[in-house]
Amino acid sequence: MPAHKMDSINNVREALLWASSFLEEAGTKDPRFEAELMIRHVLKMNRASFLASMPDPIQEEEIASIRMLLKRRAAHEPIQYILGEQNFYGRDFIVAPGVLIPRPETELLIEQVLLHSQRIWSAEQPLSVVDFGTGSGAITLTLAAEKPNWQLTTVDISLDAIAIAKQNAERLDVEKRVRFIQGDLVEPILETGERVDIIVSNPPYIPSTDVDELDREVLGYEPRLALDGGADGYIFYRRICEALPQLLAPTGLVAFEVGIYQANTVAQLMKESGAIDEVFIYPDLAGIDRIIVGYRLHN
């Protein structure tokens, strides 16, 4: 498809053809879909309205706005940062370069926490939850939205991440049930002496030497702090697991997301903590062991 020239764009359909061609030439992964998202963002339309508007005229200032977004995408800036949000578990979350973009695999972490919590406790029982590594707040705030009787705490070393997560909490109307702490992983909770029912975390898990090999969309824009898991990728899992005897309530649940080939090692770290009685490993849709759940069922 030849690239459409700017002066030939008269309606929404032509804008879509032009934008798709532009992104295709730039080598983006899904040019037609991303072009649609950008145009809908500028025109402030849902998909049904967008499809119905194909013959409608488009204004020059709208074309200029679309072109600005296209240039950012051609520079391999993630589309989620360009649009300022990402859908996660059916809800739209604000995202910005200060936080990792929520991934679909992490929705499996939510599913397993909800499923296993029902196996241990009654659905109505109020529970305390700590999420280590706030990011956009996708994990904490989704659990808060799904479970109105849970009280949640989330810890992140990044003030930028906490600021964005607080915006998302207000957007989802759960801010009154979530405590945000700026601090170094487990340390703020250990200092309080609290014991919690559920610990959940999707910590940085990419080995330091592998971070520089990541796709340029990730390496060039997403925060390295949210990617680098130390020399072997396990530094944060070790710290959390070592603290489990002090952190986890006598009846408790721990759930992690892990990277490729990491599941067995993290499962062993959980068992070696002495605080976990049973461990379950679950694959993602690609068949990669991705989610680990552990139970503490003794005093």
Point out the annotated binding site for substrate: 202-205
DSSP string, 185-221: TTHHHHHHT--EEEEEE----B-HHHHTTS-HHHHTT
Distances in Å between the Cα of 52 and the Cα atoms of 9, 40, 102 are 17, 12, 30
Looking at the chain, which residues constitute the CATH 3.40.50.150 domain(s)?
Answer: 89-297
> Is the pLDDT at 4 greater than 50, yes or no?
no
Q: What is the pLDDT of residue 227?
A: 85
Looking at the chain, which residues constitute the CATH 1.10.8.10 domain(s)?
Answer: 6-75
Contacts (Cβ under 8 Å, ≥6 apart) of 238? 269
CATH architecture of 89-297: 3-Layer(aba) Sandwich (3.40)
Q: What is the pLDDT of residue 73?
A: 96
Q: What is the helix (H) or strand (E) element at residue 153, kind and residue range?
A: strand 151-156
Counting Cβ atoms within 10 Å, is residue 239 exposed (0-12), middle (13-18) or buried (19+)? middle
Q: What is the pLDDT of residue 2?
A: 43
CATH architecture of 6-75: Orthogonal Bundle (1.10)
Give the separation between CA 115 and CA 247, rounded to whole angstroms: 22
pLDDT, tens only, 35-67: 999 999 999 999 999 999 999 999 999 999 999
Point out the annotated binding site: 133-137, 156, 202-205
Q: What is the pLDDT of residue 221?
A: 83
DSSP class of 150: -
Give the separation between CA 100 and CA 8, rounded to whole angstroms: 38
| HSE of 69, CA atoms in CB hemisphere, 13 A | 25
The reported pTM is: 0.91
Give the separation between CA 149 and CA 226, rounded to whole angstroms: 29
Give the separation between CA 199 and CA 249, rounded to whole angstroms: 10
Point out the annotated binding site for S-adenosyl-L-methionine: 133-137, 156, 202
Residue tagged 């529970």 (tokens): 127
Q: Are 146 and 110 in contact (CB under 8 A)?
A: yes
Segment 164-192 mean pLDDT:
97
pLDDT, tens only, 243-281: 999 999 999 999 999 999 999 999 999 999 999 999 999
pLDDT, tens only, 101-121: 999 999 999 999 999 999 999
